[in-house]
Amino acid sequence: MKLHPDLPIGVFDSGVGGLTVVRALLEELPAEQLIYLGDTARVPYGTRSPQTVIRYSRNAARFLLSRGVKMILVACNTASATALPVLLQELPTPVLGAVEPGAHAAVAATRSGTIGVIGTLATIRSGAYAAALAARRPDVKVAAVACPLFVPLVEEGWFGDEEPVADLVARRYLGELHRQAPDLDTLVLGCTHYPLLRRVLARVAADLWPHPVCLVDSAEAMARAARAELERLGLLRAVQKDPGRRRLVDRLRCFVTDEARVLDIGARFLGRDLGALETVDL
Ligand code: DGL
């Protein structure tokens, strides 16, 4: 398969949460075109078994390949934590997950050497973040807590400053993390949905820990890693000079496996309207 800088980048996620990664990519890589696939008919992946997540991830990656992408970004942390080794082995394009970039940014940020990770049940159970952190810094201490209520809260839009529910739930989960790791100084937001909870998490962390806690957004870390990898491979697209071609519709094509609520919820993650949606069956 001949890869070329002008081909689009493929991004997939279990649902619309991966649009936080698309948002970061649109900023970080202004010349690139993106094809997004949200497997909205089968979301969530975070409560499923590894075998199922691998099967779904394969389906999603094959769809993106059929659209002629030059690189596949596994925006979903659950799919990255579970299926990335299989995809790396099977796919003919470069593949990038969320775990490695998040771990890289966390190790660079920590001073105390104690890092917290929050994510879905499947991500935390996989131990993928703990392994990636230890591979970079063997003496690191990792505390990890699954936060299954965060995904539905964010999808419901209950994360604004005036929402006490998000605050209460965050206090419960981060309280557990604080008991495990009072000296933690870095917290990896290991799920596509958590960047939207950033303000709530920062507020609760500031109440629990007496010292500053750095929140690592794996979506932003992933966009930076994608740029570095494209540069390394000579696949970065030349800067688009014509501003008329920078409209969202020229840069992003969005596929989903079920359309229900996607336009409403998706806009929250992307930070603007999604425009047109195309529905596909995997
Ligand atoms: N996209 C998933 C993740 O980042 C969250 C939603 C789900 O459970 O599928 O882990």
**Please, are residues 231 and 121 in contact by the beta-carbon 8 Å criterion?**
no
Q: What is the mean pLDDT of residues 83-93?
A: 97
218 lines ligand 1 (CB under 6 A): no
- Atom 8, ligand 1: residue with shortest CA distance: 46
Q: How far is the CA of 238 from the centre of ligand 1 (A)?
A: 32
Cα torsion angle, 42, 44, 49, 50, sign: positive
For residue 147, indicate whether it is catalytic: no
Q: Which of 203, 188, 204 is nearest to 115 (CA)?
A: 188
Same fold, 9-97+220-279 and 100-218: yes
Cα torsion angle, 34, 39, 44, 47, sign: negative
14 lines ligand 1 (CB under 6 A): yes
Q: Which of 277, 260, 190 is nearest to 42 (CA)?
A: 260
118 lines ligand 1 (CB under 6 A): no
Q: What is the mean pLDDT of residues 268-279?
A: 92
Burial grade of 247 (CB within 10 A; 0-12, 13-18, 19 or more) = exposed
45 lines ligand 1 (CB under 6 A): yes
- The greatest distance separating any two alpha carbons of the chain, rounded to the nearest whole angstrom, comes to 53
Q: How far is the CA of 244 from the centre of ligand 1 (A)?
A: 34
pLDDT number for residue 162 = 81
User: Would you say residue 56 has pLDDT above 90?
Assistant: yes
Cα 188 to Cα 73, 98, 119, 130, 219, distances in angstroms: 19, 11, 9, 11, 11
* pLDDT tens-place string over residues 142-201: 999 999 999 999 999 999 888 899 999 999 999 999 999 999 999 999 999 999 999 999
Q: For residue 191, which atom of ligand 1 is closest to its CA? A: 4
Q: For residue 78, which atom of ligand 1 is closest to its CA? A: 10
pLDDT number for residue 241 = 62
Per-residue HEC secondary structure of 80-134 comes to HHHHHHHHHHHCCCCEECCHHHHHHHHHHHCCCCEEEEEECHHHHHHCHHHHHHH
192 lines ligand 1 (CB under 6 A): yes
Choice from 16, 120, 129, 197 to test ligand 1 binding pocket (greatest atom count within 8 A of CB):
120
Q: Give the Cβ contact number of residue 182 at 10 Å.
A: 14
Q: How far is the CA of 77 from the centre of ligand 1 (A)?
A: 6
**Please, are residues 249 and 273 in contact by the beta-carbon 8 Å criterion?**
no
* pLDDT tens-place string over residues 204-261: 999 999 999 999 998 999 999 999 999 999 999 987 666 655 688 889 999 999 999 9
Q: What is the mean pLDDT of residues 252-272?
A: 94
Domain ranges of the chain: 9-97+220-279, 100-218
**Please, are residues 120 and 43 in contact by the beta-carbon 8 Å criterion?**
no
pTM: 0.95
pLDDT number for residue 232 = 97
Structural fold of domain 100-218: Rossmann fold (3.40.50)
Q: Which CATH class is domain 9-97+220-279?
A: alpha beta
